[in-house]
Amino acid sequence: MKKKITILPGDGIGKEVTTEGKRVLQKIAELFGHEFTFDYAAIGHDAIEATNNPLPDETLSKLKSTDAILFGAVGHPKYDNDPTLKVRPEQGLLKMRKELGLYANLRPIKLFDELLHASSIKPEILKGADILFFRELTGDVYFGEKGRKNNDNTAYDLMIYHRYEIERIAHKAFKAAQSRRKKVTSVDKANVLESSRLWREVVQQVAKEYPDVTVEHQFIDSAAMKLIQNPRSFDVVLTGNLFGDILTDEASQIAGSMGMLASASIGDTVGLYEPIHGSAHDITGKGIANPLASILSASLLLDISFGLKEEATAIIQAVEGVLRAGFRTVDIADATTPKDKMLNTQMMGDLI
């Protein structure tokens, strides 16, 4: 198979982890006889420094003619510490999702058995947890009208959802549930928010087309609690942009570390694959970032965008094998990890 993959390293550890994700894709091409070509484009803080635009036109046009995107992360502490800065790295990511119509973010929460004890949650509660999140990506407070008024004494972000946005991601979630444990938990705040009442109404309507799938509705506050209390009670979780962002960071503790969670953003055109973690400037340049989220994102890329199931599975098996042999990056290590099994970013990439 001949395919072009565009790498967007972005900021901070994004560069370090996508290097390893790309190497694994190259190895897959070599082992399975594919021809993958790679090109690079700028996004985020680095792009702002070069062009004052977090998603330059040149990047966008490259993305519109590629077969799949492997993305790292965006962000920089400079912006977190100065909320008055108007041009920000995250705007590049949000614009990219909108421009490419990437409305469904799939975040599989897969707990590798080998990491059962890496989590702070009790193993007997965790064992067998396997959740697939569908986070909506193109609506909600992220894209509603925002601004300041009253001489800067009031700020607002409009939480807005359109029926079609809820419908299209709900169909994706129900279809996915059909080939899993046939349960969708839709998460909203319908006791307070009008946009959540529309969300619930639309999900109930879509559910009628999938009689083989059980649907339940939970409020975000209760879902956040149950996720830790009884993670095995969830199969597919369907939720909006903001709630999905928060819940999946929480759910990363089920998998042991943010460094383990991959994601796929899909819509009507090209697919984008990225770790759920951000740019992590506190560890940037130290070579200790866990590249497994990027490597597992590469596995999702092969599976979803190219339909290469065997190749995708080979990556997951390699991850399992390396973890089973006891190798760890610092985020998934514990007091029992021997020194000679502690790996840096590149060593983990080498072993996979």
Selecting among 221, 286, 309, 341, the annotated active-site residue is 221
Q: Which of 243, 231, 106, 240 is nearest to 175 (CA)?
A: 106
64 is catalytic: no
Is 328 annotated in a binding site? The answer is no
- The interface mask with ligand GGG, positions 44-83, x = CB under 6 A, is -----------------------------xxx--------
Strand, coil or helix: what is 308? coil
Which of 54, 56, 271, 275 binds ligand GGG (CB under 6 A)? It is 275
Which of 67, 90, 99, 250 binds ligand GGG (CB under 6 A)? It is 90
SS (H, E, C) 66-90: CCEEEEEECCCHHHHCCCCCCCCHH
Do 119 and 126 form a contact (C-beta atoms < 8 A)? yes
Q: Where are the alpha helices (H) located in 33-158, listed in sequence order?
A: 45-51, 57-64, 77-80, 89-99, 123-126
CA–chain centroid gap for 296, Å, is: 11
146 is catalytic: no
249 is catalytic: yes
350 is catalytic: no
Q: Does 240 bind ligand GGG (CB under 6 A)?
A: no
Selecting among 46, 189, 235, 303, the annotated active-site residue is 189
Is 331 annotated in a binding site? The answer is no
Which of 99, 130, 245, 250 binds ligand GGG (CB under 6 A)? It is 245
From the CB of 320, what's the least distance to ligand GGG, in Å? 23
Single out the segment in contact with ligand GGG by CB under 6 A; choices: 30-38, 50-58, 202-210, 274-282. Answer: 274-282
Half-sphere exposure of 148 (CA within 13 A, CB side): 6
Strand, coil or helix: what is 183? strand
Instruction: Please give the Cα distance from 218 to 190 (Å, whole number).
Output: 9
Judged by CB, which is closer to ligand GGG: 69, or 276? 276
Do 281 and 77 form a contact (C-beta atoms < 8 A)? yes
Strand, coil or helix: what is 133? strand
Q: Does 16 bind ligand GGG (CB under 6 A)?
A: no
Q: Does 157 bind ligand GGG (CB under 6 A)?
A: no
130 is catalytic: no
Active site residues: 142, 189, 221, 245, 249
Kindly list the residues in this chain that would bind ligand GGG in the complex (CB under 6 A): 73-75, 90, 93, 245, 274-278
> Binding site for substrate: what residues are annotated?
97, 107, 135, 221
